[in-house]
Structure 1
Amino acid sequence: MKIFKQIANLAIIAILFIFSSCSNKQQGNAQMASQISEYNVLEVTPQNITLYQDFPATLEGEQTVEIRPRVAGYIERILVDEGDYVKKGQVLFQLNANDIRAQVRSAEAQVKVAESQVSTAKINLEKTQPLVEKSIVSEFQLESVKTELQSAEALLAQANANLANAKANLDYTMITSPTDGIIGTFPYRVGSLVSSSIATPLTTVSNTSTMRAYFSINEKVFLQMTKSLKGNTTREKLTKLPEVELVLPDQSIYNHKGKIEIASGIVDPQTGAINVRAAFPNPEGDLRSGGSGNIRLPEYHNNVLLVPQNASYEIQGKHFVYVANSDNKIVNTPIEVIVGNLKDVYVVSSGLKKGDKIVVEGIAGLRDGMEIKPKVTVQEAVADNIQPSNE
């Protein structure tokens, strides 16, 4: 009987031990479950975006003409001011013309003298001709009179040429603009003696109705930009490029868009860059020759995936994100990104697919294979220049 009681007590102890173990195991499982942390995850979806690349540019007018005098003289009047807009043919400078007017009067007098000589020679010819016919004078004298007439006519032609040249010089004392445009600076003032040989022009006139922006593009970027465009020549391909913007020095955007017109056929061996020219309309005259800015080229990407930059980390130049799988375990995933001008966002070119869930916060405390409790958030418009999808 005593032995039976001992066996019963042992059985009860064993049962209590089993129940205690199961309870401890359940409590351990519950404790482990309570230790799984909740993380915000983002389900990536395709979007259409526009990236931009900026290139420093210098501005020049469509036509910039140096204004130089064609005759020597003192500047008597300046009829425009620096920065004025002038029309073709408008008088800009007036030179003192007293000496040239005297030359014109002298040339006119020489013309009258030559005309008188021609008249005299003609009269002599008219008088000599009938005398030769009557054999009163010889043929030699007739030829001599004809020669005198030809000489007088030549002198008259020379006198007329000198008069035309003097009148032209008189006209040149009124220096006019050869084109519409903006007046440059004035290195010479009233009273300055100028001539056609001066080193510095009187001023410049810049036709700025169309402005040309000159900039350089890396050869690799240029090839990526044009390789998918249709056209038999580079010039034809450039016409297919979208319009470009001009970012002014104050970071504002010029209110007219431009087009890329030409690209140099030579790659600079030192910089590996290609010189490119874009044209912008300038109806208000806001742009000036010699100005600067940045040409902004758009780059369109359709149906691409975006990830916040703070959801990724970088190791030795490679980018990684944590992707939550179907078992709520995170997988360290490498991605390829396009670094653009999007604020706090990367464009993913490979490594992710539509519907993947990436952890977007607290990634510093994560490790590969770790189980999490995902809380799905909605992907918002994470950049100002995301284009609305047509889907």
Structure 2
Amino acid sequence: MKKRFFISSLILSIGLVSCNQKKEDKAAPVAMPYKVVAVTKSNTSLLAEYPATLEGVTDIDIRAKVDGYIEKIYVQEGQEVKKGQLLFKLETQTADQEASAAKAKVAAAQVEVNRLKPLVERNIISDVQLETAKANLASAKSTYQSIIARINYATIKSPVNGIVGTLPLRLGSYVSSQTTEPLTRISDVSTIYAYFSMNEKQQLDITLNAAGKSFQQKIAQMPAVNLILSNGIEYAQKGKIETFSGQANTQTGSFNVRASFSNANKLLRSGGSGTIQIPTNLSDVILIPQNATLEMQDKRIALTIDKENKVKAVPVEVRAVPGGQFFVVDKGLNVNDKILIEGVGIVAEGTLIKPELVDYATIINPVKKGIN
């Protein structure tokens, strides 16, 4: 009897232990600690980038005004020249002969006028003959001056200070005023203009954030812009936006914009390219680390912590801050929302965590680039 009681007690004990073990297996998992931060507002600057083409203050095509063969070339490609400096000389042998003949006709016409003057004064002949002689003299002088002008046009000088472009034609090439290709191009690059375009929304974002009441005041008070050269290096001189086109292009919906850059060392040349960076200063905006978000399909997601310390995925609309470490959050988060900054991409939505609150200032302050 005692043996049966002992066995029954043993079985009951084993059953209780088994039930307790199952209850322990079904108990809630332990919440793991993860770092979170309560978001607040800060100030920053964003950089909008636009591809640009570079041109000098003036880019003048040098063309021949008269026909002739290139006899001399006095400059080299890329050479810096002054206004009035000799560039080309065309062959003028035929024109020189014509000038000599025209000069002789002028002299002959002058002799005729001189011969007739005393005869008219003594009333030997009528003044009609003298007037005819004077007209012939004027015609001869005009012909001579025209030929001399043609000879002068054969000596081609630079109309401005600038840099010589390519020289597509060589010695002996025949040119005329109808030649399609210019002899060269002279570019005044003391100041470089960067031409680029932006859409209507970008134009409004920039101008609405600029100080000033009128459109011209806003342009005048816009912050300086950067020029990133084609090799990725930032140009040392800051630029200034000078003009917006008066209306949007009806086909593209874009505005043409011009910024100017000082180019005293002549580093920049016409025909080059680069990227314009326009800063937009923002005040009282929410900043979060980029690594506190993840991308799912076409959406950017931040992980917030609710009152029960459970993770919740929230879609956010963001803009990147220069430096690649922060986002400006336009939509999706509010001040004092707690977001996960550790384990993003690992912790699943709905997971219970043990939040470890990190001071927002320690997240923002170490990174100064792009922060005002």
**Cα offset for 1:382?**
6.3
- Judge conservation of contact 1:244–1:260 (CA < 8 Å) in 2: yes
Q: Which residue of structure 2 aligns with residue 374 of structure 1?
A: 356
Match of 1:216 among 194, 197, 202: 197
- Judge conservation of contact 1:87–1:179 (CA < 8 Å) in 2: yes
| Residue 269 to residue 317, structure 1, CA distance change in 2 (3 Å) | same
- Judge conservation of contact 1:76–1:96 (CA < 8 Å) in 2: yes
TM-score, structure 1 as length reference: 0.80
| Unaligned residue ranges in structure 2 (runs of 5+) | 1-12
**Cα offset for 1:97?**
2.3
TM-score, structure 2 as length reference: 0.84
| Residue 373 to residue 126, structure 1, CA distance change in 2 (3 Å) | closer
State whether structure 2 residue 151 is matched by structure 1 residue 170. yes
SS in 2 for 1:365: coil
Match of 1:266 among 240, 247, 256: 247
SS in 2 for 1:62: strand
Structure-2 separation of matches of 1:232 and 1:155? 69
Structure-2 separation of matches of 1:311 and 1:319? 10
Amino acid corresponding to residue 48 of structure 1 in structure 2 = N
Amino acid corresponding to residue 183 of structure 1 in structure 2 = V
- Judge conservation of contact 1:244–1:257 (CA < 8 Å) in 2: yes
Match of 2:58 among 59, 63, 67: 63
Amino acid corresponding to residue 370 of structure 1 in structure 2 = L
1:301-380 aligned within 5 A: 301-315=282-296, 317-324=298-305, 328-363=309-344, 364-368=346-350, 370-376=352-358, 378-380=362-364
**Cα offset for 1:36?**
2.1
State whether structure 2 residue 102 is matched by structure 1 residue 107. yes
**Cα offset for 1:262?**
1.6
State whether structure 2 residue 131 is matched by structure 1 residue 147. no
Q: Which residue of structure 2 aligns with residue 255 of structure 1?
A: 236
**Cα offset for 1:79?**
0.5
Q: CA RMSD in A?
A: 3.0
SS in 2 for 1:170: helix
Q: Which residue of structure 1 aligns with residue 369 of structure 2?
A: 385
Identical columns (%): 38
State whether structure 2 residue 31 is matched by structure 1 residue 49. no
- Judge conservation of contact 1:182–1:206 (CA < 8 Å) in 2: yes
SS in 1 for 2:363: coil
- Judge conservation of contact 2:45–2:282 (CA < 8 Å) in 1: yes
SS in 2 for 1:199: coil
Q: Which moved more, 1:259-268 or 1:314-323?
A: 314-323
Structure-1 separation of matches of 2:168 and 2:177? 15
Q: Which moved more, 1:63-72 or 1:327-336?
A: 327-336
**Cα offset for 1:120?**
1.3
**Cα offset for 1:208?**
1.2
Q: Which moved more, 1:150-159 or 1:307-316?
A: 307-316
Q: Which residue of structure 1 aligns with residue 67 of structure 2?
A: 72
Structure-2 separation of matches of 1:335 and 1:314? 10
Q: Which residue of structure 2 aligns with residue 193 of structure 1?
A: 174
| Residue 386 to residue 283, structure 1, CA distance change in 2 (3 Å) | same
Structure-2 separation of matches of 1:262 and 1:384? 31
| Residue 236 to residue 62, structure 1, CA distance change in 2 (3 Å) | same
| Unaligned residue ranges in structure 1 (runs of 5+) | 1-16, 129-141
| Residue 232 to residue 351, structure 1, CA distance change in 2 (3 Å) | closer
Q: Which residue of structure 2 aligns with residue 10 of structure 1?
A: none
